[in-house]
């Protein structure tokens, strides 16, 4: 029998990543680094966030009108772009959260399902 190898951190699905970004902003404006750290902390470091996925996602969400961006000063006294949830973004978060819950419930149901007794 082969030895099980440690698994790399799972990739974050695009729609899920958008949902996590919107959720991260529910507590108020945050810069990109803080958003990434929140996602990593909230998922017990299972999901890693790279700049190569974070910033394109932030721009995509801004283009959709779900978040706004403005320049400010970070806790390190550096210029940083801060992102905040818009009214449309908050509404989208509600929709996406419900969609994700239904999706996850369906996947778990399938994983726990017994073989069907029908034909074959």
Query: Which of 9-13, 27-31, 42-46 has the largest mean confidence?
Result: 27-31
Give 40-94 pLDDT, tens digit per residue.
999 999 888 988 999 999 999 999 999 999 999 888 899 999 999 999 999 999 9
Q: Which residue has the tokens 């996850």?
A: 104
| DSSP class per residue in 14-41 | HHHHHHHHHHHGGGS-EEHHHHHHHHHH
d(CA 38, CA 26): 12
The domains located in the chain, with CATH, are: 14-109 (1.10.10.10)
pLDDT value at residue 7: 55
pLDDT value at residue 116: 80
């Amino acid at each position: 029998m082969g030895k099980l190898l440690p698994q790399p951190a799972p990739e974050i699905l695009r729609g899920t990543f958008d949902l996590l970004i919107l959720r991260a902003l529910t507590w108020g404006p945050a810069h990109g680094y803080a958003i990434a750290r929140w996602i990593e902390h909230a998922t017990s470091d299972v999901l890693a966030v790279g700049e190569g996925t974070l910033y394109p996602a932030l721009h995509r969400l801004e283009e959709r009108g779900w978040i706004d961006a403005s320049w400010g000063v970070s806790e390190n006294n550096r210029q940083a772009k801060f992102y905040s949830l818009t009214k449309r973004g908050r509404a989208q978060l509600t929709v996406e959260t419900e969609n994700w819950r239904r999706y996850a419930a369906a996947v778990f149901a399938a994983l726990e399902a017994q073989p069907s007794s029908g034909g074959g």
